[in-house]
Amino acid sequence: MNELLYIIEDDEGVQEVYESAFEDFYNLKIFSNGKDFFEAFNLEKPDLIIVDIMLPDMDGYKIISDIRQRDERIPIIVVSAKTDELSFVKGLNKGADDYMAKPFSVMELLARVKAGLRRSKLLVKHQGDFVIDKNNFRILYKDKNLQLTPKEYKLFSYMLSCNGRTITREELFKEVWGDEFIGETRTIDMHIAELRIKLSDAGADNVIQTVRGIGYKVES
Amino acid sequence: MNELLYIIEDDEGVQEVYESAFEDFYNLKIFSNGKDFFEAFNLEKPDLIIVDIMLPDMDGYKIISDIRQRDERIPIIVVSAKTDELSFVKGLNKGADDYMAKPFSVMELLARVKAGLRRSKLLVKHQGDFVIDKNNFRILYKDKNLQLTPKEYKLFSYMLSCNGRTITREELFKEVWGDEFIGETRTIDMHIAELRIKLSDAGADNVIQTVRGIGYKVES
DNA sequence: AGCGAATTGTAAAAAAACTGTAAGCGTAGA
DNA sequence: TCTACGCTTACAGTTTTTTTACAATTCGCT
């Protein structure tokens, strides 16, 4: 949520189109030229970039190549008013992921941005020696798949994301089960026990610590 | 870059036209008859084929059919001196993608070749041994048409495009059926089962893996 | 230290959920 | 009309999740 888009577009009219199309859904930064763009890009990486090929100070193709040299994976969408389809081919060859001809519909734009973000979204998160692979609903310990069941995955990824903080049983019920805490049951304990076994099998001992009377925490 | 074109044309004067038009941009091989062409074609697949329909040893339409039988997707441009439109229609029906009447201008020729190459690049996506032919709503495995129904095509092309990521049932419903997940139904499973049969028949086993409790993924 | 209540760990059984597959139904198009 | 397609239903086989029952541990209190 709240992805950051960089847009390189010199036409103010088109800039407004972008703004009205996206402002409700994404954070936008619009640059009129390549120089401004790269200044910002050096400080902060966006989640997706839209490039108009025809720019005043810089060749759009050059921008694409330069982006790709610094980052292999940020999705780039090429936009061009050229009806000549070859310009798109050139853009794609330079490393763009998708293309769109002006004039484009707002719907199409949103769809392509969404698709681009989905494709590339960084769905792998590191927590110490653990990797949460949201793409495949897996958690790895030192590159070894823990082979968790769906419930275990949901439970442990939540615990990992808590960064060492102690998590109450009530909170776990609410976050993982979506329920209110109903009362006495050993359900959580069971899953914790199972997790501990799988962690131990993978060589990770003492990862989940019980906080008596409160809940559990994961050593960060 | 450096695409390879095969041209089947018996008139030496026209051969020279092709040579001068293309030699700066593409690699060319020109054949005067169908026999020579297929000898070469069996060894090496070009990126695009230009066929003159009127040939000494072989019917041009027959050549097109034969090409299509061996390769579903290489773009074919039909050339004919016949002004008769019917001959073009016939060529297109046999599997050609575009047509051109003699005499043609070099500009037109270049434009059509460019367009043909572009289409084959943009509308045909490769994923490992699979080819998604968006032009014809087909998916090929090792150049063999899987003969999918429309729903199967939509489903499998979406799955292929996910690049090995695990796809949830909810996501499949939303993306392929355009629906919210309605609840318990075996619809997805049925289509997966059907896909698996067709894939297996084509020699592609273990392509779709089930991720229990989550959904499916296609091995990348 | 010893006791007892509260809490947690664990194993096995029970219940629920999930997937694969076969069979059948309705519908749209040839 | 017949066929191909998409979908539903039913059910078996399996895995996952929860419950149950009991053992073990912790901790305050005397």
Query: Domain limits of chain B?
Result: 4-121, 126-218
Please give the helix or strand (H or E) that residue B141 lies within, else none: strand B138-141
Contacting residues of B for A145, CB less than 8 Å apart: none
Instruction: State residue A191 phi and psi, 5-degree precision.
Output: -65, -35
Cβ–Cβ < 8 Å for B50, B4: no
What per-residue confidence (pLDDT) applies to A122? 45
Q: Is the pLDDT of residue A6 over 90?
A: yes
Q: How far apart are the first and last CA of chain B?
A: 26
Handedness of CA B148, B150, B155, B159 (dihedral sign): positive
CB of B151 within 7 Å of some strand C atom = no
φ and ψ at B140, to 5 degrees?
Answer: -110, 140
Q: Residue B4 has what pLDDT?
A: 85
Nucleotides of C under 7 A from a protein CB: 7-12, 18-23
* Interchain pair B166, A86: CB under 8 A: no
- For residue A75, the SS3 value is coil
Local structure of B83: helix, strand or coil: coil
CB-facing half-sphere around the CA of A60: CA atoms within 13 A: 29
Phi and psi based region of residue A201 (left: phi greater than 0; alpha: psi -120 to 50; beta: remaining)? alpha
Q: What is the pLDDT of residues A77-136, one digit of tens each?
A: 888 776 555 565 566 667 676 667 666 656 557 767 776 675 555 455 667 788 888 878
- In this complex, the answer to whether residue A143 has its CB under 7 A from any atom of chain C, a nucleic strand, is no
CB contact under 8 A, A136 and B211: yes
When the pLDDT of each residue in chain A is averaged and rounded to a whole number, the result is 81
Distance A197 CA to C16 C1' (A): 24
- Contact with chain B for residue A18, Cβ under 8 A: no
Phi-psi domain of A144 (left: phi exceeds 0; alpha: psi -120 through 50; beta: other): beta
Pairing assessment for the beta strands A76-80 and A48-52 based on DSSP bridges:
parallel
| Topology of the domain covering A124-218 | Arc Repressor Mutant, subunit A (1.10.10)
Q: Is 3.40.920.10 the CATH number for A4-120?
A: no
Nearest by CB: A89 against B121, B213, B217 = B121
CB pair distance less than 8 Å for A86 and B118 = yes
Assign 3-class secondary structure to A110-178.
HHHHHHHHHHHCCCEEEECCEEEECCCCEEEECCEECCCCHHHHHHHHHHHHCCCCCEEHHHHHHHHHC
Task: Sort out which chain B residues have CB atoms less than 8 A from A88's CB and list them.
Answer: 118, 122
Distance B199 CA to C23 C1' (A): 23
Residues A210 and A206: their CA atoms lie apart, in Å, by 10
pLDDT of residue B137: 85
The neighbour count for residue B197, using CB atoms within 10 Å, is 10
> What's residue A1's pLDDT?
47
| A window 92-151: Cβ near strand D (< 7 A) | 149-151
Q: What is the pLDDT of residue A17?
A: 79
Closest CA to A4 of A43, A39, A37, A48: A48
Judge whether residue B212 contacts strand C, using its CB and a 7 Å cut-off: yes
- Please give the residue of chain B at the shortest CA–CA distance from A93: B1
Question: For the whole model, what pTM was predicted?
Answer: 0.57
Which one of B115, B121, B214 has the shortest CB-CB distance to A137? B214
Taking the CA of residue B146 and the C1' sugar atom of nucleotide C16, their distance in angstroms comes to 38
CATH annotation of B126-218: 1.10.10.10
pLDDT digits (tens, 9 = 90+) for A192-201: 999 999 999 9
Please state, in angstroms and as integers, the Cα–Cα distance from residue B205 to each residue in B158, B165, B189, B208, B218, following that order.
18, 18, 17, 8, 11
pLDDT tens-digit profile of A120-175? 554 556 677 888 888 789 998 987 899 999 999 999 999 998 888 999 999 999 99
- Residues B92 and B81: their CA atoms lie apart, in Å, by 16
User: Could you tell me if B138 and B157 are in contact, meaning their C-beta atoms sit under 8 angstroms apart?
Assistant: no
d(Cα B66, Cα B46) in Å, to the nearest integer? 15
CA→C1' distance for A186 and D19 (Å) = 8
**B4-121, superfamily in CATH?**
Response regulator (3.40.50.2300)
Q: Are B216 and B191 in contact (CB under 8 A)?
A: no
Q: How far apart are CA B68 and CA B44, in angstroms?
A: 15
DSSP 8-state code for residue A26: S
Q: Which nucleotide is nearest to B154 (CA to C1')?
A: D6
- Residues of chain B found within 8 Å of residue A119, distances taken between Cβ atoms: 163
Q: What pLDDT shows up at residue A76?
A: 84
Contact B118 A89 (CB under 8 A): yes
pLDDT tens by residue, chain B, 220 residues:
567 889 998 888 888 888 888 877 788 889 988 888 988 887 778 888 998 887 666 688 888 888 887 776 688 888 877 655 455 556 656 667 666 767 776 766 776 777 667 656 555 566 778 888 776 788 888 878 899 999 999 999 999 877 678 999 999 998 898 866 666 789 999 999 999 999 999 999 999 999 999 999 998 6
Residue B44 beta carbon within 7 A of nucleic strand C: no
Nearest nt to B211, CA vs C1'? Answer: C19
